Amino acid sequence: MKIRKQTKLNRYSKIVERIFLEKYREGMNEFSFSREDIVRVAKKIGIKLPKNLGDVIYSFRYRTD
């Protein structure tokens, strides 16, 4: 059984949530964003930037319910 690191998920969740709130508009089924958005948002909200930016997305696809 794999134990999740709660602080990592919280940090990633905050980044993705902020990107979602910036980009989502009512009625949208999907939206896209770039790695630059991850960098920009992490700096904007004062979160230490993950070393592996791809892990932010990977964690939501495969490690988060």
- Residues 37-63: pLDDT tens digits? 999 999 999 999 888 999 988 988 888
Q: How far apart are CA 52 and CA 55, in angstroms?
A: 6
- pLDDT at res. 7: 56
C-alpha closest to that of 51 among 42, 61, 60: 42
- What value does the mean pLDDT take over residues 1-14? 66
Of the pLDDT bands very low, low, confident and very high (cuts 50, 70, 90), residue 5 is low
- pLDDT at res. 60: 81
Tokens of 28: 């949208």
The residues, any chain, with a CB within 8 Å of residue 42's CB and separated by 6 or more, are 15, 48, 49, 50
Query: Is 70 exceeded by the pLDDT of residue 1?
Result: no
| Torsion sign across C-alpha atoms 56, 46, 33, 53 | negative
